Amino acid sequence: MTKNEIPTAAHQTFSDADAAIAYIQDIKSPVFVKADGLAAGKGVIPGRTPDEAIKAVQTILVDKAFGAAGNNVVIEEELIGEEASFTVLTDGENCLPFVSSQDHKMSHDGDTGKNTGGMGAYSPAPVITPELHDFVMEQVVHPTISGMSEIGCPFKGVLYVGLMITDDGPKVLEYNCRFGDPEAQVLLPRLKSDLVPLLSACIDGTLDQQTDVEWHDDAAACVIMASGGYPDPYQTGKDIIGLENASEMEGVNVFHAGTALKGENIVTAGGRVLGVTALAKDLKSAIEQSYRGVSAIHFDKAHFRRDIGYRALARS
């Protein structure tokens, strides 16, 4: 990002805990401490005070809470703003942007609690205005794809750019080489065109010929039902009831994430258990319909946020 002048947070990377701690003591301002590897969406720890940040360095670099994913830590300035997820398909040269989406990373209402893989999502995300969309394509997506090509590592496939929309404009928080979860649950139902030819075009280098991709005007919302306690340790094996009732509701699709079959029953088998998703004429209706789906489903200690989409609703 630095080489290609892609906007992102000021940051430094460390493998040595003492050097990381010295840096924190020097800059003093709030930071985020990130494991520099895959940690199931949980490897980012806020360091609002130097003590909190130093503890995070110890958790990642010394205690190895995320294993080898924490061999390096990235210490970044805290960015203030609203997060958005920007997803594109690319054949290594051409890029096809998806409609906008936003997820809710924190475990509890009002974006409190702990960082999770995502407790819900919605699309469109009104924070991504047409102007911001163009900015992100020009200043982030294209430089990323051409920068990868230039270093002899062309990237084809799904590029997910996690953004913070700050007062100084969008800044990159992270990249993932996959769809977001739960963003995929709200993006793919809105895609009217067949996904497979688009993916084939990524492989064949012909994405520029896919000029007639169609999207549903309907909005989508997804509420994650999680096991009580997630992202901390939780119990599994709880019977889930009401799945059929929820799926029969208009526009509702229940995506399974952490479930398993036990005899005839579907039981919980993970932290994020279900993505209860609804398509409806506008965001408010989609959110309401997702929550109707959620209210039809029960399992012991089910946890879900009750405010999915609150920022988007406040804008409308």
State the amino acid at position 65 in one-letter form. A
How many residues bind ligand GLY, per CB under 6 A?
8
Site string for ligand GLY, 124-163 (x = CB under 6 A): ----------------------------------------
Q: Using CA of residue 93, residue 96, residue 100, residue 106, what is the dihedral sign?
A: negative
* Candidate residues 47, 117, 189, 309; the one interacting with ligand GLY per rule CB under 6 A: 117
218 binds ligand GLY (CB under 6 A): no
Residues 28-57 that bind ligand GLY (CB under 6 A): 41
Task: Pick the stretch among 67-75, 76-84, 174-182, 255-263 that binds ligand GLY (CB under 6 A).
Answer: 174-182
Phi first, then psi: give them for residue 313, nearest 5 degrees. -65, -35
Residues 61-90 that bind ligand GLY (CB under 6 A): none
Task: Pick the stretch among 124-132, 178-186, 256-264, 271-279 that binds ligand GLY (CB under 6 A).
Answer: 178-186
Q: How far is the CB of 174 from ligand GLY (least distance, A)?
A: 7
Q: Report the half-sphere exposure of 218 (CA within 13 A, side-chain side).
A: 22
Q: Using CA of residue 188, residue 189, residue 190, residue 191, what is the dihedral sign?
A: positive
d(CA 283, CA 309): 8
183 binds ligand GLY (CB under 6 A): yes
* Candidate residues 47, 92, 97, 118; the one interacting with ligand GLY per rule CB under 6 A: 118
Q: How far is the CB of 261 from ligand GLY (least distance, A)?
A: 26
Q: Using CA of residue 110, residue 178, residue 77, residue 116, what is the dihedral sign?
A: positive
289 Cβ contact list (under 8 Å, min separation 6): 221, 249, 250, 251, 252, 278, 280
Q: Which is nearer to ligand GLY, 115 or 236 (CB)?
A: 115
Q: Which is nearer to ligand GLY, 117 or 296 (CB)?
A: 117
Helix (H) or strand (E) holding 169: strand 169-176
Tokens coding 94: 């051409």
Q: How far is CA 101 from CA 127, 212, 309, in A?
A: 9, 21, 10
Q: Site residues (CB under 6 A) for ligand GLY?
A: 41, 103, 117-118, 176, 180-181, 183
